[in-house]
Structure 1
Amino acid sequence: MKNIIAATLMTILISFSFYQVNLDSDSDFERWALKHGKHYFGDEKKYRQAIYFQNKQMIEEHNKRSEFTFLMGENQFMAITNEEFVSLYLNPISPEKQNEQDQIIRKTNPKSPEPIREYNLKDDVDWRGYAPVKNSGNCGSSWAMAATNVIEAAYAIDKGIKVTLSAQNVMDCANSWGGCDASLADFSDPKNAYGHARNRGILTESEYPYTGRGDDWCQQTGFAPWRIMSYAQNSDDIDYMRGFLQMLTEHPLSVKVDATNWQFYSSGVFSLCSSIYKKANYYALAIGYVWEANQQQNWQQIWRVQASFGISWGEFGTIRLAPGNTCGVINEGIRVYLWGG
């Protein structure tokens, strides 16, 4: 009902030229829908088409502005609003969890927005390719995607074994409260996945395929071979940045970030986000950093983070973040340890 009402209002706005949509450009929407396997009918189609062109105009206007250091581009999220993007794909923290974490994580926000050069432990760190870029589809399963990515990377680095692990296995068996429900932040947490990997192990993607549903019964019987010994979160009480960098030079880390404005990120260095922990709403994989010169020819440390929106999003599934605690990237770095690793 809500979408039908919105579609009617949007249709009225279009008819009065509030949105300048050229009917000849309708084929742009049709091509986009075909490419991404989207099927809309009736009022829903009119509503999604209007959102598509509104987002398209916003992207074009953003890319004309010189003050931004990143570009936007069309992707699979073109026919949804930012509000829908946040509610469908991200994992906001509950108010109760916010209050609890505020007291614990205050120390994780550095005073300076830029890391000091002495923090640099290696010139560049690049863990791209050690874990596959996943696609959560229409499901807020970033917590399971990031956790399995961390374990996959650990096996590739420590054991020389490339494996793609089942996020669905984790969603069904480590979270009985609905693996896609972004509102259940206490349960949709990588730590639950790491606990399952430690206690029972995880099956491969081919053994336990991804359905993108959060209400399936656990199909795992017995123990799976892909297990971890333990996991650890950044705990450098003196300097969180130093602790995060030390861990990242050894392995990729699962992180929780503010991805509210990641919807149309295409390329460049992103900074349009909050570093405050209570704003964090998405789990991703920190895969390194690179030193780059900015417009003033000052060297700065740029983070590279891998999302689970597929390889067509961003820079082949990754995003570059500005120096410092951008998007809260250093607030919750977690790595895993393998048996005999």
Structure 2
Amino acid sequence: MSFVAFSVLCVVAGVFATPGGVNEIDPSDSNVQAAADFAVGEISAQSKTVNPYVRTSISGTQQVVAGLKYELTIKVAESSTCSKTDELSLDLCTVDMTTIHYFRAVVLWQSWMSPDYTLLEFNEVPPSDEEAKFQSFLASYARTYTNDVKQYEMKLMTFQDNLKTIQQLQANEQGTAQYGINEFSDISAQEFLSTHAMANGFPESDVELPMAPKLSTDIPTSVDWREKNVVTPVKNQGSCGSCWAFSVTGNIEGQWAIHKGKLISLSEQELVDCDKVDHGCEGGLPWNAFKQIMALGGLETESDYPYKAADGMCHFEKSKVVVNINGSLNISSDEDQMAAWLASNGPITIGINAAAMQHYHGGIADPWTIFCRPSQIDHGVLIVGYGQDGSKPFWIIKNSWGASWGEKGYYRIIRGKGKCGLNRMPTSATVA
């Protein structure tokens, strides 16, 4: 082949490089895609799978030789809508992203030959460790986006980012907490806080509550109101920023059980729909909710006004009210006083910065302040007890992300450090 012909070859192929030089491919280059699709067709034809392979992504290098040599890593998925004799492309074939395979393929392109592509070699290679974990995650949590390549790749990137966050949290954890993959691992931190907490934080309010009286701190070394039948099972707020409502109902459930001797699961949806001062799935404040409950005339049961995880029209029926309150209190931000109040009076509604909670598995959390700044409170939860493990005093917090999260739905966090702002807004309803 003449030098002129060779130069034309390089230009046609979109390669401007010294003969023999190795360059990273451009995955969007039509010539690269053609080489990869040829390889996939050949590999698919030789595979023992019933369903053909369809390319979903490519990486690798190209080298100017007597033609162009591509050394590619090709990610493919199986398609049940195309046959091995069809044109195999994402435009024509639906793929199942739970059937990922990786192949290393060497393809030679020579324009003067017929056919102009030759598959020199190929072999299947394992996926990256992160993608293997993602595939395991998909199987564990039955995600529904596995037929959407674009969404799959976006979720994979989010998952990879979350793995880095998990590593950072674990490496810098000062307590005994363990962090890892859970049902929220394919959700970005921003999206998670907007749907499972309150991305914009607690709204401002000018409501002032009376202060709880100061109490003696000569109290038991541990208290757990779950053992005294005043705490309902863990609930799940879903993708709705109604954490404030769950914190409030949990507190009132406890107060009613302690003062009236009957534990009743109360309706969060009533607050989401009928509390017109707060903002439903967009957030709210416990003390606003206490005032609104008094104005409404009380709370219905969970079964009479079931939770929908969405804003709705108010259909409150006063005749179905089972619980009412007569006021509410601010509790001291001093954590010794918080413990004394909890020991004497029951669970406390609080706000907390939830940024370090998304990937929590268990143990006593004591994250660095940079991971959950106390001034940025964005999640309402319920303290139901306290205790000490060795040298680490802790709070027991009931969350509203379901019983599969954390310690069967609960969070233990270091006590006495004002960690993540947990002592900034402790309050409680009062029951006559």
> What corresponds to 2:325 in structure 1?
228
> What corresponds to 1:190 in structure 2?
286
> What corresponds to 1:28 in structure 2?
136
User: 70-79 vs 19-28, which deviates more?
Assistant: 19-28
Please report the TM-score for the alignment, with normalisation by the length of structure 1: 0.76
Q: What CA distance in whole angstroms lies between the structure 1 residues aligned with 2:163 and 2:151?
A: 18
Cα deviations across residues 171-209 of structure 1 (Å, max 9, x unaligned)? 100136641114xxxxx1112221232232111111111
Cα deviation for residue 131 of structure 1 reads: 2.7
Structure 2 gap ranges (5+): 1-27, 29-54, 61-72, 74-126, 209-215
Which of 251, 263, 272 matches 1:171?
272
1:326 matched to 2:326: no
> What corresponds to 1:113 in structure 2?
none
Which of 286, 290, 304 matches 2:396?
304
Please report the TM-score for the alignment, with normalisation by the length of structure 2: 0.61
Tell me how many residue pairs correspond in the alignment: 297
Which of 408, 411, 420 matches 1:316?
408
Distance 1:291 1:14, change over 3 A: farther
Q: What CA distance in whole angstroms lies between the structure 2 residues aligned with 1:253 and 1:231?
A: 11
CA contact (8 A) 1:93 1:278 kept: no
Q: What CA distance in whole angstroms lies between the structure 2 residues aligned with 1:158 and 1:30?
A: 46
Cα deviation for residue 31 of structure 1 reads: 1.1
Which of 327, 345, 367 matches 1:272?
367
Q: Which one has the bigger strand percentage?
A: 2
> What corresponds to 1:82 in structure 2?
189
Which of 211, 220, 224 matches 1:122?
220
Q: What CA distance in whole angstroms lies between the structure 2 residues aligned with 1:94 and 1:74?
A: 25
Q: What CA distance in whole angstroms lies between the structure 2 residues aligned with 1:148 and 1:96?
A: 19
CA contact (8 A) 1:231 1:337 kept: yes
Give the structure with higher Rg (CA).
2
CA contact (8 A) 1:168 1:211 kept: yes
> What corresponds to 2:381 in structure 1?
284
Cα deviations across residues 2-24 of structure 1 (Å, max 9, x unaligned)? xxxxxx9xx9999579x935766
> What corresponds to 1:136 in structure 2?
237
**Runs (4+) of structure 1 moved beyond 6 Å?**
11-14
Q: What CA distance in whole angstroms lies between the structure 2 residues aligned with 1:12 and 1:177?
A: 46
Percent of aligned pairs with the same residue?
25
**Letter aligned with residue 290 of structure 1:** G
1:183-262, aligned counterparts within 5 Å? 188-199=284-295, 200-214=297-311, 216-222=312-318, 224-234=321-331, 236=332, 240-249=334-343, 250-262=345-357
Q: What CA distance in whole angstroms lies between the structure 2 residues aligned with 1:193 and 1:311?
A: 25
CA contact (8 A) 1:230 1:337 kept: yes
Distance 1:25 1:90, change over 3 A: closer
Cα deviations across residues 266-322 of structure 1 (Å, max 9, x unaligned)? 11111226486531111100111102213xxxxx42111111111111111111111
Cα deviation for residue 61 of structure 1 reads: 7.3
Q: What CA distance in whole angstroms lies between the structure 2 residues aligned with 1:327 and 1:307?
A: 15
